[in-house]
Structure 1
Amino acid sequence: MRMLSLFALPLIAGLAACEFAGQDAVSPPDDTLVGAEERREAMIAAAHPLAVEAGLDAIRSGGGAVDAAIAVQAVLGLVEPQSSGIGGGAFMVHYDAQTQTLTVYDGRETAPAGITETLFLDEAGEPLSFMTAWQSGRSTGVPGVIAMLAMAHEEHGMRPWAEGFADAERLAEEGFAVPPRLSQLAGRVADYTAIDERGPSAQYLFTDAGEAVETGTVLTNPAYAQAMRLVAQDWRNFYTGEIAQGIVETAREEPLPGLITLEDLESYEPLKREALCTPYRDVRICSAPPPASGGVAVGAIMAMLENFDMAAYGPDTATGWHLFIEASRLAYADRDRYVGDPAYADVPTQGLLDEAYLNERARLIAMDRAMESVSAGTPPGAPQAPEDASDDAPGTSHFTIVDTEGDVVSMTTTVESAFGNTRMTPHGFFLNNQMTDFAFAPRDEAGNLRPNAPAPGKRPRSSMSPTIVLDPEGEFLLATGSPGGNSIIAYTAKSLVAMLDWGLTPGQAASLPNVVARGDSVAIETGFDETLLEDLREMGHAIEAGRGENSGIHIVRVSDGGYVGAADPRRDGAALGLGEAALEE
Structure 2
Amino acid sequence: MKRYLLCASYLVVASVSSSLFAASPQETREPEAATGITQQQLTVFPNAMVAAANPLASDTGQRILQAGGSAIDAAIATQLVLGLVEPQSSGIGGGAFIIHWQASNQALTTFDGRETAPAAAGPDLFVDNDKVMNWREAYVGGKSVGVPGVLRALADAHQRYGKLPWEALFSDAIMLAEQGFPVTERMAKQLALGWNQGLTQLAPAKEFYYPGGQPLAAGALLKNPEYAAILKQIAKEGVSAFYEGANAQAIVNAVQQAAINPGRLTLTDLASYQAEQKDAVCISYRVYQICGMAPPSSGGIAVLQMMGMLEHFPLATMKPNSADSIHLISQAARLAFADRDHYIADPAFSDVPVAGLLAPDYLKARAALIGANDNTATPGEPVGAKALSAAPAIEFPNTSHLSVVDAAGNAVSMTTSIENVFGSGVMVNGYLLNNQLTDFSLVPKMNGFWVANRVEGGKRPRSSMAPIMVFDADNNLKLVIGSPGGSRIINYVAQSLVAILDWQLDVQQALNLPRHTHRNDYLALEQGTALVELQSELTALGYEVRIQDLNSGLHAIAVDGERLAGAADPRREGKVSGF
Asked if these proteins are the same fold (TM beyond 0.5), I'd say yes
Deviates more, 1:285-294 or 1:316-325: 316-325
CA distance in 2, matches of 1:572, 1:397: 11
Please tell me the residue identity of whatever aligns with 2:404: I
1:65 and 2:67 aligned: no
1:216-260 CA distance string (max 9 Å, x none): 111000000001101101111000112111111111212220110
Equivalent residue of 1:383, what SS? coil
The answer to whether the Cα contact below 8 Å between 2:399 and 2:416 also exists between their aligned partners in 1 is: yes
Equivalent residue of 1:409, what SS? strand
The answer to whether the Cα contact below 8 Å between 1:28 and 1:508 also exists between their aligned partners in 2 is: no
CA-CA distance at 1:535 after TM superposition: 1.6
Q: 1:154 is matched with which residue: 159, 165, 172? A: 159
Please tell me the residue identity of whatever aligns with 1:138: K
Please tell me the residue identity of whatever aligns with 2:249: Q
Deviates more, 1:529-538 or 1:244-253: 529-538
Equivalent residue of 2:284, what SS? strand
CA distance in 2, matches of 1:147, 1:184: 32
Superposed, which structure 2 residues align to 1:258-277 within 5 Å?
Answer: 258-277=263-282
Deviates more, 1:559-568 or 1:351-360: 559-568
Aligned to 1:525: 526
Aligned to 1:111: 117
CA distance in 1, matches of 2:38, 2:368: 34
Aligned to 1:540: 542
Q: 2:381 is matched with which residue: 359, 378, 395? A: 378
The answer to whether the Cα contact below 8 Å between 1:26 and 1:569 also exists between their aligned partners in 2 is: no
Q: 1:278 is matched with which residue: 267, 275, 283? A: 283
Please tell me the residue identity of whatever aligns with 1:540: G
Please tell me the residue identity of whatever aligns with 2:66: R
The answer to whether the Cα contact below 8 Å between 1:95 and 1:407 also exists between their aligned partners in 2 is: yes
The answer to whether the Cα contact below 8 Å between 1:78 and 1:168 also exists between their aligned partners in 2 is: yes
TM-score, normalised on structure 1? 0.91
Aligned to 2:234: 231
CA-CA distance at 1:191 after TM superposition: 5.1
Aligned to 2:251: 247
CA distance in 2, matches of 1:136, 1:104: 31
CA distance in 1, matches of 2:533, 2:308: 28
CA distance in 2, matches of 1:47, 1:191: 20
CA distance in 2, matches of 1:114, 1:570: 40
1:202 and 2:206 aligned: yes
CA distance in 1, matches of 2:200, 2:537: 45
Superposed, which structure 2 residues align to 1:302-313 within 5 Å?
Answer: 302-313=307-318
Superposed, which structure 2 residues align to 1:10-409 within 5 Å?
Answer: 26-27=36-37, 29-31=39-41, 36-124=42-130, 126-188=131-193, 190=194, 193-208=197-212, 210-233=213-236, 234-252=238-256, 253-366=258-371, 369-409=372-412
CA-CA distance at 1:136 after TM superposition: 3.0
Superposed, which structure 2 residues align to 1:415-454 within 5 Å?
Answer: 415-425=418-428, 427-446=429-448, 448-454=449-455
TM-score, normalised on structure 2? 0.92
Please tell me the residue identity of whatever aligns with 1:238: F
The answer to whether the Cα contact below 8 Å between 2:399 and 2:419 also exists between their aligned partners in 1 is: yes
The answer to whether the Cα contact below 8 Å between 1:89 and 1:109 also exists between their aligned partners in 2 is: yes
C-alpha RMSD over aligned residues: 1.3
CA distance in 2, matches of 1:537, 1:40: 46
The answer to whether the Cα contact below 8 Å between 2:507 and 2:566 also exists between their aligned partners in 1 is: yes
Aligned to 1:410: 413
1:344-390 CA distance string (max 9 Å, x none): 00100111111111111111112xx3223311111111111212232
CA-CA distance at 1:212 after TM superposition: 1.1
CA distance in 1, matches of 2:413, 2:426: 28
1:453-498 CA distance string (max 9 Å, x none): 1111000001010000011110110011001111111111111011
Unpaired runs of at least 5, structure 1: 1-23, 579-585
Equivalent residue of 1:199, what SS? coil
The answer to whether the Cα contact below 8 Å between 1:92 and 1:411 also exists between their aligned partners in 2 is: yes
Equivalent residue of 1:523, what SS? strand
How many positions carry a matched residue from both structures?
543
The answer to whether the Cα contact below 8 Å between 1:94 and 1:103 also exists between their aligned partners in 2 is: yes
CA distance in 1, matches of 2:472, 2:521: 35
Please tell me the residue identity of whatever aligns with 1:299: L
